[in-house]
Chain A
Amino acid sequence: MSDAAHEPSRLAKMLDSDFAYKFRTSPVAMVSTAVTLLLVLAAIFAPLIAPLDPFNPASLNLMNGFTPPSTPNQFTGESFLLGTDDQGRDVYSTILYGMRISLFVGFAAVAFAMVLGISLGLIAGYVGGWTETIIMRIADVQLTFPSILVAMLITGVAKGFTPVEYRDSMAIIVLIVAIGLSDWVQFARVVRGSTLVEKNKEYVQAARLIGRSPFTIMLKHILPNVLSPVLVIATISLALAIIAEATLSFLGVGAPPTQPSLGTLIRIGQGYLYSGEWWILFFPAVTLLALALAVNLLGDWLRDALNPKLR
């Protein structure tokens, strides 16, 4: 016991740090973390929480279509918390499943962008020369175009390459690749910058002298130094990726109606804006809003709290 008193556990140390203090004193950080966690958990456990499986045709009854929220259906008498859409699918369940796809695409795209950006950044910074010039030139050119446009183009090209019958089933993967490819530049730039600085420090020179391979040096010595800015960019990228996915799906070039994400649901709901079935649009829109806002605010706060020198 006395040992524990002298040596605070790792958890206690973490809770005592500046970072934890900043977190505990910032309502924005607490609320946005709570909302993000809640939504992510809801998405992960969607099959357990959702009252119905919206993709199981057996559970659907067209008679239930257009049931307003929490009111019994005039034909079947069934009631749904957030109402149903045109095909009688429970809006609450479709949102849970839709959020699953939105978050999955978001996380996967950011992970892809991160791996690609970090690798290219490390290589550019460490190897230098022509390799660096080519990588960074591509990055510069890509940076002159808005990333959503790049993602759209990649989606279009990928669609062209995919045979018609596979287009729907490949759509999610296409989305991940398109958003990931449109977003690697930031990671590459930050990592290259830090690599250039670290490369010339004495411990790296020493590691090189004792014959460590460039791969080991990059991974073990340089990478740890760039993690905090990368974390910040990743959080901000996640918000952007979620919005990008929603936008592409809303435009009809993202997640297909058979696997609807929040963006697809909003696209479907927009059609009922005039006819009075507001709930089909409203609830997915609010969910997307909460998700995007929470992750964005979290990223913003993280940037201020960790304050790495971005750019």
Chain B
Amino acid sequence: MIAYVIRRVFQSFVVLLVVGLVAFSMFRFVGDPIDNMLGQERTQADVERLRTTLGLDQPFPVQYAKFLANAAQGNFGVSYRQGRPVATIISERAPATLELALVSGTLALVVGIGLGVFTAIRRNGVASNVIMTTSLIGVSLPTFLIGILLIYVFSVSLGWLPSFGRGETTQIGGWSTGFLTASGLKALILPSITLGLYQMTLIMRLVRSEMLEVLRQDYIRFARARGLRERSVNFRHALKNTMVPVITVVGLQLGAIIAFAIITETVFQWPGVGLLFINAIQFVDIPVMAAYLMLISVMFVGINLIVDLLYFAIDPRLRIDGRHA
């Protein structure tokens, strides 16, 4: 098992190195950093000085190593557009995205698993069929349309909830939170539903199909034949076995929430990292793009690793042979 963990950590590391190379190549070759940083009025001496300060006169591998070392310390350079360190900008924006992702992730997980289990147990019920049909439409809807629809109904028509921004935020240390004010909480509602809905339907459909599969298994029949209560059969025996295959996808879906936050943040003008990234693409702000790529890769690779390790916690069969079944 330890060998397996080491191998997985090593693999994750390689992936990060490759992504780092992509980010660095973007940084180095897309457009000329010197052009981007110096204005029109510049002397050859300015250019040379900046080349040396930026280390652009050194061999490629050295530059790459330096880039990685800087990135590891959270130093991603200076935004072309805002002229401020990327790390500072991102750390200002991160709380907004993380709070949004946390709320919608929880929503997607709790409601998704709940509805999945419900529709699997009440397989032929009317409510299950209604939920399943609705979810098929939900999967087909583009996220931004859901957001616009919610804004139209709850902001424009009913005027109940705000359609953009975070509302009032409270500063706690370096973290600005919207959880502590009524307007902050209200502002969270529509964006988190928009962001969570797609993941929720996916998780629900997956949990349902896996659970139906598990409920057909012999050990479930055997548990029934032993006279265990339905509750115990469904939740103690079936649900745990359902979770083994579900965990991978759920883990990845939660990661995807951060990525899909880009869309939601644009619809609701939510001042998070996603909106920052989309603006960076629009204005070709390479350092911001590169930093975002690096951060999100670390996150995805980290989630993948955690998901793999979680298997060990939940499935005893893997603890023995240390390989995927």
Contact = CB atoms under 8 A, between A and B. Distances in A.
Interface of A: 141, 144-146, 148-149, 152-153, 155-157, 159-161, 239, 243, 246-247, 250-253, 266, 270, 273-274, 281, 285, 288-289, 292-293, 296-297, 300
B140 interface: yes
Interface stretch (B86-94, B216-224, B260-268): B260-268
B142 A243 contact: yes
A159 B284 contact: yes
A300 B133 CA distance: 13
Interface string B250-267: 001001100110110011
A144 B304 contact: yes
B30 A250 contact: no
B138 to A, nearest CB: 11
Contacts of B15: 141, 144
17 contacts: A144-B304, A146-B255, A148-B260, A149-B259, A155-B281, A156-B281, A156-B284, A157-B26, A159-B281, A160-B30, A239-B140, A243-B142, A250-B263, A252-B282, A253-B278, A289-B145, A296-B140
A273 B269 CA distance: 14
A146 B300 CA distance: 10
Q: Is the interface of A mostly helix, strand, loop or mixed?
A: helix
Interface stretch (B48-56, B114-122, B148-156): B148-156
B158 to A, nearest CB: 13
B136 interface: yes
Contacts of B145: 266, 285, 288-289
B260 A146 contact: yes
A292 B142 contact: yes
Contacts of A288: 142, 145
A157 B148 contact: no
B256 A297 contact: no
B47 interface: no
Given A266-B144, A266-B148, A288-B145, A251 B137 contact: no
Interface of B: 15, 18-19, 26, 30-31, 136-137, 139-145, 148, 151-152, 156, 252, 255-256, 259-260, 262-263, 266-267, 277-278, 280-282, 284, 286, 289, 293, 296-297, 300-301, 304
Contacts of B252: 144
Nearest to A295: B140
B299 to A, nearest CB: 10
Given A156-B284, A251-B266, A296-B139, A273 B26 contact: no
Contacts of A293: 137, 140-141
A159 to B, nearest CB: 5
Contacts of A251: 144, 262-263, 266, 278
Contacts of B136: 297, 300
B170 to A, nearest CB: 28
Contacts of A274: 156
A160 B31 contact: yes
A253 B282 contact: yes
Contacts of A270: 148, 267
